[in-house]
């Protein structure tokens, strides 16, 4: 642990446990101090200092606005200046990914409503006026995957051409998107449910964390191994205080097309868990091969509390 020995307060670290769950990259630890306080420690390479510092300052700001995120506790350099660290409050509870299979459809829906309401709070922080328009930024993301697809003949197919054609002909759906602060990776692995049912949101450190279209925070179900229709339907309604506008579905379908192109082009590199063809096939089913906009899994109404526990669907 030499790389963290110069963190202020290191002499009070009675227990240091590495955390292996999540995307590779930063080193993460659960810290327990001599005063029995538990904290999350994240250590990153110093090359990303500017971005990580801006990210930490944003976390301080949204925590101050009442968004249910872990309290930021410290930021600085360590390992003789080779690395940087960020300390935050440790949150006890279960991640939604672990909890959802054990909930009834009604309870999944209710949890989704709560997580959608949290998104409202996250998105209350507006983007700087100097931010480049979202549609311009996102179209570069699309072009990146188009170029990657074109450069890899082994993934070429009629399906790939259809997806690229859809993205080209529907790009105007992003023209009117506003920008706010976004989580960037708002998925069920980054949502913690405490013992009293409260929500805490973690891991704002993804490469997507910044400012952007708030609706971008609702596309991540495409990348999860298991789909929970009642949960995600509740999340969407919670984010809008009811039924979303028609334009939302058009934008979400556009994001699904982007996800499908990325998964088709790099089937293992992006999530490392499932074959990307499973992700593509799910999206094609949800959108009826992009002929529809409201996904087939969307649940219009709150399920009955008396329904038996439902099985998650792929």
pLDDT of residue 23: 57
Spatial distance between the Cα atoms of 271 and 59, rounded to a whole number of angstroms? 25
Helix (H) or strand (E) holding 120: helix 105-122
70 and 139 inside one domain: no
126 and 206 inside one domain: yes
CATH classification of the domain holding 16:
3.30.200.20
C-beta of residue 157 within 8 angstroms of C-beta of residue 276: no
C-beta of residue 110 within 8 angstroms of C-beta of residue 304: no
33 and 151 inside one domain: no
| Tens digit of each residue's pLDDT (9 = 90 or more) over 38-59 | 999 999 999 989 888 888 888 8
The per-residue b/e assignment along 258-287, b for 16 or more CB within 10 angstroms, e otherwise, is: bbbbbbbbbbeeebeebebeebbebbbebb
| Tens digit of each residue's pLDDT (9 = 90 or more) over 209-249 | 688 999 999 999 999 988 999 999 999 999 999 999 999 99
Spatial neighbors of 131 by CB under 8 A, at least 6 apart, are: 179, 211
Residue range 259-266: mean pLDDT, rounded: 93
Which of 89, 123, 146 is a domain's end point?
89
CATH classification of the domain holding 239:
3.90.1200.10
pLDDT of residue 305: 59
7 and 143 inside one domain: no
pLDDT of residue 162: 97
**Angle, helix 246-265 to helix 134-150, in steps of 10 degrees:** 30
* Residue 270 banded pLDDT, cuts 50, 70, 90: low
When divided into structural domains, the chain yields a total of: 2
The per-residue b/e assignment along 162-183, b for 16 or more CB within 10 angstroms, e otherwise, is: ebbebbeeeeebbeebebbbbb
Beta bridge partners of 227: 313
pLDDT of residue 290: 97
Let me know if residue 312 belongs to a domain.
Answer: no
115 and 254 inside one domain: yes
Q: What is the mean pLDDT of the chain?
A: 90
169 and 23 inside one domain: no
34 and 81 inside one domain: yes
> Which range, of 166-175, 192-201, 303-312, averages the lowest pLDDT?
303-312
């Amino acid at each position: 642990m030499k790389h963290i020995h110069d963190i202020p307060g290191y002499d009070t670290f009675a227990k240091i446990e590495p955390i292996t769950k999540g995307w590779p990259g930063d080193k993460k630890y659960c810290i327990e101090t001599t005063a029995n306080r538990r904290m999350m420690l994240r250590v990153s390479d110093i090359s990303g200092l500017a971005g990580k510092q801006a990210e930490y300052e944003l976390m301080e700001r949204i925590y101050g606005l009442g968004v249910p995120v872990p309290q930021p506790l410290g930021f600085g350099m360590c390992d003789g200046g080779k690395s940087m660290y960020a300390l935050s409050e440790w949150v006890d509870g279960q991640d939604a990914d672990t909890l959802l299979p054990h909930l009834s459809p009604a309870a999944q829906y209710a949890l989704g409503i709560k997580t959608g309401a949290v998104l409202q709070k996250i998105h209350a922080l507006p983007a700087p006026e100097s931010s480049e328009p979202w549609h311009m930024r996102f179209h570069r993301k699309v072009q990146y995957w188009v170029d990657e697809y074109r450069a890899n003949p082994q993934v070429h197919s009629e399906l790939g051409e259809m997806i690229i054609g859809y993205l080209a002909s529907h790009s105007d759906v992003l023209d009117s998107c506003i920008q706010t602060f976004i989580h960037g990776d708002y998925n069920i692995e980054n949502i913690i449910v405490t013992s009293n049912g409260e929500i805490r949101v973690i891991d704002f450190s993804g490469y997507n964390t910044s400012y952007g279209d708030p609706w971008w925070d609702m596309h991540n179900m495409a990348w999860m191994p298991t789909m929970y229709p009642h949960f995600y339907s509740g999340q969407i309604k919670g984010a809008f205080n009811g039924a979303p506008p028609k334009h939302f579905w058009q934008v979400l379908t556009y994001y699904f097309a982007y996800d499908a192109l990325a998964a088709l082009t790099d089937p293992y590199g992006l999530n490392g868990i499932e074959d990307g063809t499973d992700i593509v096939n799910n999206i094609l089913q949800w959108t009826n091969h992009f002929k529809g906009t409201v996904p087939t899994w969307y649940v219009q109404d709150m399920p009955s509390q008396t329904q038996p526990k439902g099985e998650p669907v792929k």
